[in-house]
Structure 1
Amino acid sequence: MMGLRVLVFVLSLTAAAAAWAQPRSSSTVRDCPDCPEMVLIPGGTFVMGAAPGEEDREGVPPQSRGRSQPQHQVVVRPFLLGRFEVTRDDFAQYIKATRHVMDGACWTEGNDGKRRDYKGFSWQQPGFPQTGRDPVVCVNWFEARGYAGWLSQRTGKRYRLPSEAEWEYAARAGSTGPRPFTADAASFCKHANVGDLALAEAYKHRKDAARYGICSDGYPFTSPVGAFPPNPFGLYDMLGNAWEWTEDCWNPTYDGAPPDDKPRYSGECDKRVVRGGGWFNEPWRARSAFRFRDSNGHNGNMLGFRLARDP
């Protein structure tokens, strides 16, 4: 009988440990009626970066390879992260309250397929129609941080941009592959808003099957946040829809990267890391490990953000 009790106890401990190891959809927090909804992300340890062979399998061009190397283990403390990307309605509250004057231009792709700094384009007019529930775009790194500072003053909580490590840990949500979902050509568009046949139809002069794949997500440009399934942490649009600013300075590789979740403040600090891919991009960019950079003051109609918050 004693042996049976010991066995049951050991099995219960094993089950509890297995349950703890699995990502869980956490409870949400909202610090004011019009504050972003935040999800509590449990702490843990993960391997950051692209696994060997991932870039080959995903068809990443040679000039974009190696940025997510070398893989390294990172310890992440519990934190809160926006359930959704910051929306136009969210951002409008900030502009109304602070009367902040935004840049009067935004880098936008025209119908000729060329990106230009279009005068008169802005977060209110990014070059395509949006709803109030679409992610705000044409917002640079300084403006994203300004919104975070405004929320911090209102609530007494510390809102901020996530570190690159926090972002990837949250995007992976316990997964180790390119994405936390199966992403064959037939099903990719059920999970993320990327460059697809809907976009190809909008840009009728560009119907490149290799560029746009074979599926349609139904949204040629941005989509309302939450239009696609969440990841196992309960976070929406971590991959696709809008690129997301992080706090980290740009470094071309992970050489010298910290083993914890702190932002990296060495490197090219006139540029910051952006993650997640966007509505215009090829699917190989919409991966948990993929990294890119933009100048701090760059306003682009693929660039948005979501906020982190200290517990």
Structure 2
Amino acid sequence: MKKTVSLLSMLLLGCPLWAAADPLLLPSMATIKGGEFSMGSTANPKDADYPASEPVHTVNVKSYRLSRYETTVGQFRQFVEATGYKADGDCWKLAANDWGMENGKDGWKAPVNAPGDYHPVMCVSWDDAHAYLQWLSQQSGRRFRLPSEAEWEYAARAGSTSRYPHGDAPEALCKHANVFDRSGKPAITRLTGKDRQEIDCDDGAALTTVVGMYAANAYGLHDMLGNVGEIVEDCQHLTYAGAPGDGSAWSSDCKPFHGSVMVIHRGGNYNSGPVGASPTYRGHTGTDNRSSVGEGFRIAEDVAGEAGKDAGAGAFEAGLAKAQALERGRRAK
């Protein structure tokens, strides 16, 4: 599967290394020690047109780095302003129709999708994520990428074998993730016109929220089960039959959906119930598809040399701490 970033490549030919007054917003990275785990689950619902989480299979993952937080509006904005990259166009949104969604015109920077620079960026496609990562790699001298699906699940499970990393109870999710709960139900019901059963807890957020507001998992990662789902490198396969056992991305023999090339996204979002918030649940999206129904991305990096886990991320962390403090103040009112 080829990456369609030729336009960005042309833009980057004339793009100098970062020299702006504002520092480059590098991600804060956690080093994930490699190991063996059982990937998949037999407990998730099955749909002939949707990727299943079976068969459960053993995967050996090499050590790697993964960003502690989902990529934010401010980080993506820095890329767009530096390059002139166009990430505009239609973006799926929640709607009061039979499907619960429709294509809208509000993009990644519209206030409805980007309430603040430290919210996770949405309305960005797999292609857009690759373009951003190519630019960030050039500017930093590092090799950032999307995680493979196996790397993502390994990190989301964080060594656990229970339904969720914290245990089996959905009601405990609100301590760890922004999901479809008591806080989110009123806003989402207004948007969709549907009355669904919410998770019986309160995470303090209606739709997306500032990244890192909930407890990190055992690997130091925030928001793996909520806020927004996350695009990974792998293209769609409807089962794990034949999947790589070494943790690498599965990018061959892809399964299209109604003629469109599809990739996998993982993790729950602000609209997810108990099933969607599971670390084993799989979703799909088109390579050029943009959605505000909880789709973003997280950054991975190979372990190389002695680079620190948070090397160069000080500017991002300082701004995030202020945004988190403001959000905590809002919730306390």
TM-score, with structure 1 as normaliser: 0.82
Partner residue of 2:227 out of 232, 238, 241: 241
Q: Which residue of 2 aligns with 1:225?
A: 211
Q: Does residue 1:268 correspond to 2:255, yes or no?
A: yes
Contact 2:126/2:289 (<8 A) preserved: yes
Q: Quickly say closer, same or farther: Cα 1:96–1:221, change in 2 above 3 A.
A: same
Which of 204, 207, 227 is the equivalent residue of 2:195? 207
Secondary structure of 2:183 counterpart: helix
RMSD: 2.0
2-structure distance, mates of 1:148, 1:274? 17
Distance 2:47 2:134 in 1: 39
1:144 aligns with 2:129: yes
Instruction: Quote the offset at 1:183 in angstroms.
Output: 4.6
**Structure 2 unaligned residues grouped into runs of 5+:** 1-22, 304-333
1:308 aligned residue: 300
Question: Residues 193-251 of structure 1, C-alpha deviation per residue, up to 9 Å, x if partnerless?
Answer: 11122222113443332xx2322211110111111100000000111111100010100
d(CA) in 2 for partners of 1:64, 1:186 = 30
Percent sequence identity is: 38
- Is the contact between residue 157 and residue 310 of structure 1 (CA under 8 Å) also seen in structure 2? no
> What is the number of equivalent residue pairs in this alignment?
271
Report SS of the residue matched to 1:149.
Answer: helix
- Secondary structure (helix, strand or coil) at the match of 2:275 reads helix
Structure 2 equivalent of residue 26 of structure 1: none
Whichever residue aligns with residue 268 of structure 1, its letter is K
Distance between the aligned counterparts of 1:305 and 1:83, measured in 2?
Answer: 12
Residue 280 of structure 1, CA deviation: 1.0
Distance in 2 of aligned mates of 1:100 and 1:128: 18
Confirm whether residue 42 of structure 1 aligns to residue 33 of structure 2.
yes
- From 261, 268, 284, the equivalent of 1:293 is 284
Q: Distance in 2 between matches of 1:263 and 1:40?
A: 19
Q: Secondary structure at the match of 2:171?
A: coil
Q: How does 1:51-90 map to 2 (within 5 A)?
A: 52=42, 54-55=43-44, 60=45, 67-90=52-75
Relative to structure 1, is the Cα distance of residues 163 and 282 closer, same or farther in structure 2, using a 3 angstrom cutoff?
same
Deviation string, structure 1 residues 62-84 (Cα, Å, up to 9, x no partner): 66998111111111111111110
Partner of 1:106: 91
In 2, are the aligned partners of 1:108 and 1:126 still within 8 Å (CA)? Answer: no
Mapped contact 2:70–2:298 kept (Cα < 8 A): yes
Please list every run of 5 or more consecutive structure 1 residues that lacks an aligned counterpart in the other structure. 1-31
SS at match of 2:118: coil
Scaled by the length of structure 2, the TM-score of the pair is 0.76
- Shift in CA distance, 285/145, structure 1 to aligned 2, threshold 3 Å: same
Range with bigger deviation, 213-222 or 183-192: 183-192
Structure 1 residue 278 and structure 2 residue 269: aligned?
yes
